[in-house]
Chains A and B, each alone.
Chain A
């Protein structure tokens, strides 16, 4: 279709950025510089990037508890993200939100969410607003396979279909909701099968193939923009690391994890770009070096940022 070299390199860069960002988060967490908990999406980068690549800049997304990748792909800035995780005043939420609540209204990111399924009706409502305002925007709703069993998921999809709202529901099926395997939580074989119940298209895509995700989501976004209503897309992928910082990983085997590591979306895309002569190894190395520098600068920025002041503790409770 319409993937330029520039866009392809952008996709490579963003996936690499997400990977490096999260590995640094992991490191800073272990060094006790990050407080609380956080959920990393290492291994799932292609879904976030491929899907968001199919949007226009002023389209909107809602995100999940595992939202760093979505935020970065939507244009979130690394310094403000690190600053948020370090609890600093310069962070996206002025140190009040942390990993699970980063939002960036400017880039159309309506927020990560600590409540599983919480973003699904919010995305639907944003799409309703677009329809009412006729602003031509589409909202992309990220959610996990676990979230597809919340009542609000079903309520939202029904309404979105009924009212032909410009929204795309994108399930990142990483095969587990915390310790519960998808097959033990969900009565159908695929989340996408549920689309039939709401009379909307349901598509399954290899979530580790960034271009495949892009093409499927692009089609759904165009449909939504034409006023034909929502779609449900299921990207099959895998999270390499534990659910959060306190997961002993007792519910899955080392072999399974290893097998999925072999399907690394970034390595795989790199190979493709070089094989298809879209980029040289040197070009890709250069991108990686640039990202590396940006990451280190962003961490420095965060470390040198001030803590929020106690006097302002109640700022923002009301408008």
Chain B
């Protein structure tokens, strides 16, 4: 079984991800954090990352969240991508801004992009 190191540049953390797993599955199955987890189906966009170095295979992703130019710049949904080499990535996605955040105590950082 082939396994690669995935490094999340935002906090310098890393985890090991099997070639057979998506980047999101690899992170979640080890109880790691760093990439926001949503639908795990390429539909909601919260797990959006930019791959800085490394190669991968990808499946169809929602165009609402990954434009063609995003894709050209290595922006992908972590739940739709499997590594074929060690990966360095940056987190782009976030849990979207919603009405509730607006009424939470001030000081809660806005996670909207």
Q: Real complex partners, A and B?
A: no
